[in-house]
Structures are given as C-alpha cells and as structure tokens.
Amino acid sequence: MAGPEDAQPVLIVPALFEEANRTRRLLAQTMRALAERGIGSVLPDLPGCNESRSRLENQNLASWRASMAAAAQHFGTSRVLSLRVGAILAPPDLPGWWLEPLGGAAALRHLVRTRLVAAKEAGQPEQSDALMAQGRSSGLQVAGYRLSAAMVRDLEGSDMPTPGPGVAILALADVGGSALWLRSEPGEDADMAEALAATIARGMA
Amino acid sequence: MSKDVGVSAIDTDALLRTILRDVLGLDPAQVARFDADTGLFGALPELDSMAVAGLLTEMEDRLYIIIDDDEVDGELLETYGNLLAFAKAKRA
C-alpha cells in the first residue's frame, strides 16, 4: 500500500506468475509515482502467490476474482489498474486502466510453450496436446508453478475480457514503455511508471 | 492495428528486429547489426526458454502467423537468418 490513506486507493491487479515477478519493480515505481501525485494505491497478493499463505494449487479463477473483489470492497477503491492477464481478475464493475491485457487462454498457452521449449532444450521433448490433457485432469507444473486442474480449465476457457464502459485499454505505446514482462531478468522503467501514473492522475482529475 | 494490406507490406525483417529488441530488451544498435549468421538461442543470454516462448507469442501477434509447437526446434532459433526465413515463409 502506498500514498495517502484517506482517499480511495487505486486497486492494482498484478500480472500472473513469472510476468508478475518481472513487473514488480515497475508497479512499485508506479505506486510511488502515484503517491507523489497524492493518489493512494494498493497491490494485494493473489491467494497462493508471493506472501499469501494460501496454496496456489487450491486456487481457481473464481477464488482469485473473489479475492480482488474483496480487496476492492475492503479498501473502498473505485478504480483499478491491471497488468496483462490481471485484466481477467479485475472487478468488472470498476472503471480504470488495463495495461496490455490478454485472456487466460493466451497466458496459459504462453506458460505451456515455456515448458515445451525448456523440455526440448533438456532433450526430453513433450507434446502440447498431452500436456494440456494432463493439465485438465490432474493439474500442471509450468515454469515453477503448480496449477490445479480447475485453474488450467478456467484459464483455457478464459478469453480476453470485454472492458466495461469506464475502462481504458492501455497499449505499450500509450505509456512509452517496453515489454518488461517478457524479459528473462526483472527490470524497471521509471519513465514508463511516470507515464502510467500521469495517465491515471489525468483520469482521476 | 488491424490485419490489412498495409501491415503485411511492412518489411518482415524490420518487424522481426523490432520484436527481438522489444522482447529481449536489446540495444537497437546491437539488433541492427544482426546478419543471417548471428547466433540467437545459446548465443544471446537474454534468450532463455521463457523468452523464447515470449518471442514466439509476439511473432504470432505482430506478424499475424500461427506457430505450431512442433515447428520450434533448435535449428529455427539457431541464427537470425533461420528465424527470418521462417517468418517470411509463414507470412507468404
């Protein structure tokens, strides 16, 4: 949580898994830039991620969505900023900003592909059809994360969400940034964080 | 950006360099120096398996192609020339 505590903070819904790690510093910088503009923000951990004491393999999209809705309620937030696939978890009634959103199916495909590339590199190639079948029935270990069968099925059935009337879709070009979530090492981008904060401040003015 | 004649007319080589630059966070000057023999996977420390997956996904999104997972092998990513030839063939 950052910034003044008396105003309604912006709820930040992070990206998922490895993309979340790679954008953590960007979000921290954005929260500080928002605070400098007098705007509070809150970045909750999704159940089963980071410092959450819940187990990731017990989560599905419904539990994640419920936790984000509960956070919005608890902090009295009226705006949301989501990153990447976080858009599918953003409370649908909240106006705000979705940065480079994508659906769960696309995110899952990316995760499975990562595992396929790593397996091939290790000389033990796997087939995506077989992996997905296994994932739907008994869950999947991808890029160091243990996804439940329910989570695999939920993500597979999740298209890019339709933004509500108060939601602005932000592309990288809108904030002059680069795709930090695709990098092999976590990075930061102060200019992008400033641009994001300025966009949000304009929208709240 | 919509899929139309204007997009497909954009030079595949230039698009692929932009994708590599964006995905891997490489210096534009470094990417501009890539030639057909420049090594990629195994030669660029930025290109690990996560980044390969990101690279393929961005190529699909920005070149409007579909890449089958069976098509991804060591040879495809060995050199810039191989990757460019693949991208051009896919867009043809």
Distance between A93 CA and the closest CA of chain B, angstroms:
27
ipTM of the complex: 0.76
CB nearest to A18's CB, from B46, B50, B58 = B50
Q: What is the pLDDT of residue A61?
A: 96
Q: Which residue, among A17, A132, A184, A185, would best test binding to B if mutated, counting the most B CBs under 10 Å from its CB?
A: A184
Task: Measure B47 CA to nearest chain A CA, in Å.
Answer: 7
| Per-residue confidence band for B4, with pLDDT thresholds at 50, 70 and 90 | very low
- Closest residue of A to B58, CA-based? A182
> Which pLDDT value is given to residue A177?
80
Cα(A133)–Cα(A112) distance, integer angstroms: 12
**Which CA distances in Å does B66 have to A6, A36, A41, A121, A191?**
49, 44, 39, 21, 33
Residue B39's SS3 state is: strand
3-class state of residue B79 by DSSP: strand
- Show residues of chain A in contact with B23, CB under 8 Å: 179, 182-183
Closest-approach residue (CA) in chain B for A187: B25
CB hemisphere CA count around B28 (13 angstroms):
4
pLDDT at B1 over 50: no
Partners of A106 on chain B (C-beta within 8 Å) are 57
- Residue B45 DSSP code: T
Look at strands A79-83 and A10-13 and give their pairing. parallel
Across the interface, whether the CB atoms of A113 and B57 are under 8 A apart is answered yes
pLDDT at B89 over 90: yes
Smallest Cβ–Cβ distance between B25 and the set A110, A116, A183 belongs to A183
Q: Do B24 and A143 touch (CB under 8 A)?
A: no
Q: Which residues of A touch B (CB under 8 A)?
A: 18, 106, 109-111, 113-114, 116-118, 120-121, 127-128, 143, 172, 178-180, 182-185, 187
Q: pLDDT band for position B10 (50/70/90)?
A: low
Query: Of B16, B22, B14, B10, nearest to B46 (Cα)?
Result: B22
Which of A111, A120, A178 comes nearest B73 by C-beta?
Answer: A120
Chain B contacts of A143, Cβ < 8 Å? Answer: 50
B69 contacts A128? CB cut-off 8 A: yes
Q: Residue B62: what pLDDT?
A: 87
Q: Distance between CA A168 and CA A164 in Å, rounded?
A: 9
CB contact under 8 A, B49 and A118: yes
From chain B, the residues in CB contact with A111 under 8 A are 53
> Which pLDDT tens digits describe chain A residue by residue (205 residues)?
777 666 789 999 999 998 999 999 999 999 999 999 999 999 999 999 988 999 999 999 999 999 999 999 999 999 999 999 999 999 999 999 999 999 999 999 889 998 998 888 888 889 889 999 999 999 999 878 999 999 999 999 999 889 988 999 999 889 988 888 888 777 889 999 999 999 999 999 8
